[in-house]
Structure 1
């Protein structure tokens, strides 16, 4: 016979886990595995109101600045190639006049075409290099802006520096140097200023094509009719053990 109000034997007491829904004020997380659950806002710790924005923009600015600097360096190479390969306009001194040696020549048009061809190659190379370097991070608007600005600056630099590297543009000084009957080449220049836009436009087209064909892809979310992923089943939780629960073998009455 068991004496009333006698506590159970600790050696034979079975301890059972209490489910979360049995504790007042708690409930299972119904959005834990729901792909369409609303995103929870995370607190962003920052030293000031604009710190987080600056931290997000700083990597983009660095990438864009790097692309622009690279394009400017490529523009120097383009200037050297244009000054070296561009067809020259031959001139001849005839008394107090400077005449074209070949009045029907197409050297000036050839110089414009060569500048556009070199700019096209520079645009393809810079776009390909920028895409390969930034492909893992998914590219970004900074790459496109850097290629557009850098391509335009590179073209302007190649035009200005190429004119300086080419033959002198001082025709009177050159005519006096060679004397009457002498020959010299006129300075190279662009007649079609639209050739300056070939590099940035080609870079934009190539970058867009590479991003569309080989860019980083994000996984599509599951369709709305797909069942939500279930949480892994844990050990079954029994009812809570009450203070009056007796041992399994029980006491004799």
Structure 2
């Protein structure tokens, strides 16, 4: 009389979720510790605090656009115009001042993107979706504010009246213009790249749940037969 075949006590589930009675148990299954639960971030902000921080980042970054507008007006080259009392002409028809105006705005946008990303990272190292979105939108709004504020501070846009005011043959500056509107994206793009790099290099790391398992073992293992025989 033969005994019925019974499955082993440890039955790892197969693909269908049922135990396989003929599969040997995994020898490492009993040695791997269960994944440690992620520690609760007790000091982390709640939803309201994150929204408040995002609003602060958005407004603070956007206000930097006023400073960018002033620097753009100060550093950008001027386009000289001259009038003959009947029409207004470019004094230097082959000049590249217009290209220089767009390039100055783009370079300033890149610099402001790096600075604002660094400031935001130093203020909140843990980052977060709300902070990143607020940084991008604030930089975009700041670029628009800089564009409009620089034009408002610059020479008048009424060229005919300005030419009549200065007189015939007198050189005067053309209104400040941003012909390449793509320069408005320099600030938010630079801010995103720099903030992402800083977060990846210096941001907080999540703890490894298997750090204790992979750590070097101590001398707490049971002594072998030779050690037991020598101690007797």
Structure 2 length-normalised TM = 0.72
Query: Which residues in structure 2 correspond to 1:45-194 (within 5 Å)?
Result: 56-135=46-125, 138-194=126-182
Q: CA deviation at 1:95?
A: 2.8
- Structure 1 residues 181, 36: closer, same or farther in 2, change over 3 A? closer
- The structure 1 segments of at least 4 consecutive aligned residues displaced by more than 6 Å after TM superposition are 223-227
Deviations 1:209-241 (A, max 9, x none): 0111111111111179779xxxxxxxxxxxxxx
CA distance in 1 between partners of 2:37 and 2:73 (Å):
61
Report what 1:216 is aligned to.
Answer: 204
Q: Give the structure 2 partner of residue 207 of structure 1.
A: 195
Q: CA deviation at 1:59?
A: 1.2
**Structure 2: which 5+ runs fail to align?**
1-32, 39-44, 216-232
Q: CA RMSD in A?
A: 2.0
Alpha-carbon separation, structure 2, partners of 1:107 and 1:70: 32
Equivalent-residue separation in structure 2 for 1:207 and 1:38 (angstroms): 28
CA separation in 1, counterparts of 2:185 and 2:52?
A: 24
Contact 2:36 2:209 (8 Å CA) reproduced = no
Are residues 177 and 148 of structure 1, via their aligned partners in 2, closer, same or farther at CA, if it must alter by over 3 Å?
Answer: same
Larger Rg: 1
Alpha carbons 1:84, 1:166 under 8 Å: kept: no
Q: List alignment gaps of at least 5 residues for structure 1.
A: 1-33, 40-54, 228-253
- 1:219–1:109 distance in 2 versus 1, CA, 3 Å: same
TM-score where L is the length of structure 1:
0.66
Q: Is the 8 A contact 2:37 2:209 kept in 1?
A: no
**Distance in 2 between residues matched to 1:125 and 1:38, nearest whole Å:** 37
1:119-141 superposed Cα distances (whole Å, 9 cap, x missing partner): 11110000000001101xx1111
1:36 corresponds in structure 2 to 35
Q: 1:37 to 1:145 in 2, by over 3 A?
A: closer
**Aligned twin of 1:197:** 185
1:166 and 1:121 map into 2 onto residues whose CA distance is 22
